[in-house]
Amino acid sequence: MSLQQKLTTQMNEGMKSGDTERVSVIRMLRSSIKNKEIENRTATAAPLTDEDILKLIATGIKQRKEAISLFQQGGRTDLAEKEAREVAILESFLPPPFSEDELKAEVQEAIRTVGANGIKQMGKVMKQLAPRIAGRADGKKTSELVRACLGGAATARGPAPAGGATTSERSGPLAR
């Protein structure tokens, strides 16, 4: 059963059981799916794949989690709780998340596939990993794990300038 069909079935079941919150969340998700399909429409446009829908669900979860923190900062626990319930409903449509060990195995497999031997190949590894972990792992956590596996505690841009000088403190022909 495709994710689209699962959403329709869940919405119908929610309507029959009177679960208005679940129905509302699924309607919002189906609306965002429809908007994305319209946005991508061409002469031969196909409906969104399950992977595309998982990305939309992940986006919805991320937006709601940001809203939760803002509502908590503003002292609106009632709205934060509502958003948390919506996150739980959306997460029910995601595949089970990777455990720490499973994620590490996926990262190591991607590193082997790409043949990466340093932090400079991190982008290639992440590109290889993205479709395999979609909806099952946090991108930030995955990025940190890839960085650790590639042996780079330093940032992707490299070490800081010698002597700790910032860009604005440097001298030379290109200095401002």
Q: What is the CATH number of the domain that holds 38?
A: 1.10.1510.10
Q: Are residues 68 and 125 in the same domain?
A: no
Tokens of 102: 């499973």
What is the pLDDT at residue 45?
66
Question: At 130, phi and psi to the nearest 5?
Answer: -50, -55
Rounded Cα distance, 135 and 140, in Å: 13
Q: Are residues 50 and 27 in the same domain?
A: yes
Query: Which of 91, 108, 140 lies at the terminal end of a domain, its last residue?
Result: 91
What is the pLDDT at residue 173?
53
Structurally, how many domains does the chain consist of? 2
What is the pLDDT at residue 152?
61
Chunk the chain into consecutive blocks of 10 residues (it has 176) and report each block's average pLDDT, rounded to whole numbers. 89 94 94 88 73 88 94 94 94 87 89 86 87 79 88 50 50 51
* Domain containing residue 145: 100-149
Residue 163 located in a structural domain: no
